Every structure is written in structure tokens, then in C-alpha cells.
Amino acid sequence: MVKVLDDVLSQSAYSAEIEVPLEAIDIADWLFNLPEAEYLRCCPPDHIAAGITWTDDGRRMSINVEQIGSGLVVQHYVAEVAGPTYCRMNSISDVFTVNGRTQVNVVWELIAEKIDDRRTRYTNRVTAHPTDAFMAFLEEYGTKYDDAAAARQAAGGDHNSRETPLFAASIARHALAK
């Protein structure tokens, strides 16, 4: 079992406005019906693959494969909250680096907020926490935590800033198609 540590390894949140009323938005429906080709369009060339499955105990799960900085990341996002205007997804993510494989805990929050009767603000918040496996990996390769956190912050923030407006546009298209 991977132990998640309380420290924040990286965190970013970006928002984009869409011309769709909040009442038409259903983030959970979008997320759990997202075709892989649409996922790929939401952050080229970083997004590589996506799929939907369930945990053994029946919770919905989104599997995402993406390149974040120099790491290939396989995310196993389990739905902790999955509603029309808020989803909180939690993943023990596998990270493949030039030095090998490790794991981080990533919490992905997808948030829709009403601006007015015709516009919605979508916020994409991603918070990464180290795991005991990640800390052991750093120690094995002589990497300082602060250096790893700075690299993760830069790469994760860059990735999130590029995918957020594309996710927002995709959520808007999904809402308007219903």
C-alpha cells in the first residue's frame, strides 16, 4: 500500500469562461463519457490516452495517460465526488522517468461556477502530494525534494494552463449537444 504524505508537491488552478449557463453543465457526465479522441484534443501533444473503468468496489474511475514535463504519467483517478458542477478525483499516479518508475498522489478538481445567466467559469485545480515511494525514489537518486517540487510545479502548471481552456471548451460542447 502506498502511503500518501501531507506535503504539497505542486498545485495549480486555472479558469476559463464558457458561454453556457451553469444549469446546462454536467461535469461528471462529460468526464465519464469523454471519448478518447476528445481527451487527446484537450492538451496536444501531452494527452496520450484515456479510458473509463470502475474500482473493485464500484466507484467510477478515469484512466489518463499524459506527458507532464519529462515524466510519462499514468493516472488512476477514482471519483470521490462526481456531480454536475464539481468533481473531485483522486489518483495514485505512476510516473515513469529516465531514472525509473515512482508514484505521486494527484487530486484533480473540476469546478463549474455561475458567472451570470448565460456564462460559467470552469476551474481546473490539480494538487500533487508525495508518497512514501516518491520520497524513497528521490533518496535513491540523490534528488532534493525542493528541486523535485520546483520541477513538478513548473511542468504541472504549464500543462494545466494549456489544458484548462480546452477542457472548458469541451465541457461547453458537451453541454450544448445535450
The 10s digit of each residue's pLDDT in 50-99 is 999 999 999 999 999 999 999 999 999 999 999 999 999 999 999 999 99
Q: What is the pLDDT of residue 25?
A: 98
- pLDDT tier at 6, thresholds 50, 70, 90: confident
Does any domain span residue 155?
yes
Task: Count the domains in the chain.
Answer: 1
In-domain check, residue 87: yes
Q: Is cis: bond before 84, omega within 30 of 0?
A: no
pLDDT at 2 over 90: no
d(CA 84, CA 65): 24
| Residue closest to 91 by CA, chosen among 131, 120, 123 | 131
Task: Please report whether residue 88 resides in a domain.
Answer: yes
In a domain, residue 31? The reply is: yes
* pLDDT recorded at residue 77: 98
Q: Which uninterrupted H or E stretch holds 17?
A: strand 10-18
Q: Distances in Å between the alpha carbon of 5 and those of 55, 103, 105?
A: 23, 12, 9
In a domain, 1, yes or no: no
Query: Could you list the residue range(s) of the whole structural domain that residue 64 is in?
Result: 10-177
CA 142 – CA 129 distance, rounded (Å): 19
Beta carbons of 106 and 75 less than 8 angstroms apart? yes
State CA 17 to chain mean position distance. 19
Classify residue 102: in a domain, yes or no.
yes
Structural domain includes residue 5: no
Q: Which pLDDT does position 158 carry in this prediction?
A: 97
pLDDT of residue 5: 81
- Whether residue 2 lies inside any domain: the answer is no
CATH number at residue 21: 3.30.530.20
